[in-house]
Amino acid sequence: METIFAVAVDGPAGSGKSTVAKEIAKRLGILYIDTGAMYRTVGYAAQKKGIALEDETAVTAMLSDLDMKICPQEDGQKIYLEGEDVTQKIRTQEAGKGASIVAAYAGVRQELVQLQQKMAQAHSVIMDGRDIATTVLPQAQVKIYLDASAEERAKRRVGELQAQGKQADLEVVKQEILQRDDQDMHRAISPLRCAPDATVVDTTGMDIAAVVETLLQIITKKVQ
């Protein structure tokens, strides 16, 4: 596996993309790039600067001097904003909603997609997001669309929040996930959709280990 190759993983919120992609990166010795974290960081930065997320012009203009650094690590990546490690700070529900809003802006997408493509040109990567196979890396050797029922995804999210010591109502989280799906699937630019040549994996009822093994089999067949 010395040749540079790319694995594109798309899917809705809570389908397990990031968790699985991190583990696969570790197993294959390739870089994991969490594109969603980049959009979360842009939304977080806007809020920190007092810019309304709905103000597309101001959010896009902010990018010209935004000091955001993505540093690949063995267990994933760290994201720094103006020198501060915000890797954990951007994992909130609020940051997720902010990401969904700013990800719909053409200027934001253009800037971040260029950055993502540069990273994939230099290293073998596994990249996850909403439009990796369709827009960011359409030439990826492996394209996977991870899915799961809204109920399953809500349960996983509640579990994550509880593990962080936070309380969460399953029905509220489920509605937020459905709202996020609707936003992501119906945005005008690079909506969430399954690439025609992607392999669909429904993770409902599967644990992380089973999903990882399933994806490794798919990747090995296509990259050999």
Sign for the CA dihedral angle at 52, 58, 60, 64 comes to negative
On the question of pLDDT at 212 being above 60, the answer is yes
Q: Which of 113, 185, 196 is nearest to 150 (CA)?
A: 185
Average pLDDT over residues 69-90: 86
Share of the chain above pLDDT 90, in %: 69
Distance (Å, rounded) from C-alpha 171 to C-alpha 158?
Answer: 10
Domain 6-215 annotated CATH 3.40.50.300: yes
**How crowded is residue 63: how many other Cβ atoms within 10 Å of its Cβ?**
18
Rounded mean pLDDT of the chain? Answer: 91
Distance (Å, rounded) from C-alpha 62 to C-alpha 52?
Answer: 11
Average pLDDT over residues 70-96: 86
Q: Where are the domains of the chain?
A: 6-215
* Residue showing tokens 């050797």: 141
Q: What is the pLDDT of residues 129-143, one digit of tens each?
A: 889 999 999 999 999
Distance (Å, rounded) from C-alpha 70 to C-alpha 72?
Answer: 6
Joined together, the tokens standing for residue 34 give: 């969490």
pLDDT at 167: 87
The number of residues making up the chain comes to 224
Distance (Å, rounded) from C-alpha 42 to C-alpha 20?
Answer: 24
Would you place residue 224 in the very low, low, confident or very high pLDDT band (cuts 50, 70, 90)? confident
Average pLDDT over residues 188-216: 94
Q: Which of 185, 72, 203 is nearest to 130 (CA)?
A: 185
Sign for the CA dihedral angle at 99, 105, 108, 111 comes to positive
Distance (Å, rounded) from C-alpha 126 to C-alpha 136?
Answer: 12
Q: What is the pLDDT of residues 176-198, one digit of tens each?
A: 999 989 988 998 888 899 999 99
On the question of pLDDT at 1 being above 60, the answer is no
Q: Which of 132, 144, 130, 136 is nearest to 186 (CA)?
A: 130
More confident residue, 224 or 35: 35
pTM (2 d.p.): 0.82
Q: Which residues 6+ apart lie within 8 Å of 158 measured at CB?
A: 168, 169, 170, 173
Q: What is the pLDDT of residues 28-48, one digit of tens each?
A: 989 898 888 899 999 999 999
Average pLDDT over residues 68-73: 82
Average pLDDT over residues 63-89: 87
